[in-house]
Structure 1
């Protein structure tokens, strides 16, 4: 049997799943959340990197009186399909880290998840250092060396066909109004997301 590289296997799996579903997609209009005050980044649609799955579209929105952030997939992949949550963040769990604390995934994983003393709606203004930990995979070439906010979060992972979905720990990192990342601690991977500015009306 011919062996494909892992990236080609994922593309083949995506094709086969779509073929199985006979391209029975459900289309619905996306309702964008209005601009908000007291949030680290405005809601909207972003395109992000998902390793060998390539680029995907997600919708970023605030819920529960802006105490939580939810990112849902608008386009999906064989693991986590469209319409499902890709990651969630409780804004009360912000953190400020030194560059040394970010040196490795193990040092990041050892950081205690606890509520911050800073009110969740107090938008950070002072930049803090950011570095990609050793051994972490990322495909984005120009990653900023500072960020404006960082939060504990939970990212959703699943097997092919959305089997055994679960949430694993991660960090949501806001670089500016149009760029953020999600650091998947267990996957040793950094996904980067750009705001989609094209007219979507």
Structure 2
């Protein structure tokens, strides 16, 4: 039975060249791994461009730092109040969701515990269901008391947003440099492969 990579050899009307077969199989390796889900006849590019996600985040982080450093105390206070209100709202929503989820889990757990399995061979199933539900309750419905959000002072909030922007700059600078390096290595890998195929001709 042919695989996706060998189907052209099996079903194709024309013979498949060795070079074409290599390029088809290359989609499952190295530089072209991101193309493995694309149609097998999609062209492999001559050059791979870096994904610009980290570059865009880096530009945004630099803008955030500039904005944070240039905000007036009044603007920082307004941002701090908004963040505090958003945090309080999120806290209450999370608490409500957690309580509702706990109720659903516990309702099901009560039903499982009340269930009498049809045979001794089914007791493992019951134990498994109890285990799954108790693990989910422990993980998803923590009873650990959560701290109510606190509003930061102007100085504290400014430090927080500056620190956050600087962290983002460092993180996305590294990510962007790594992405450029990956794109260069992918391009080199495919160029080397194509050059080796030219030498086969």
Shorter-chain TM-score category? Answer: under 0.3
Greater helix share, 1 or 2?
A: 2
Q: Structure 2 length as normaliser, TM-score?
A: 0.20
Larger RCO: 1 or 2 (CA < 8 Å, sep 6+): 2
Q: Structure 1 length as normaliser, TM-score?
A: 0.20
Greater Rg by CA: 2
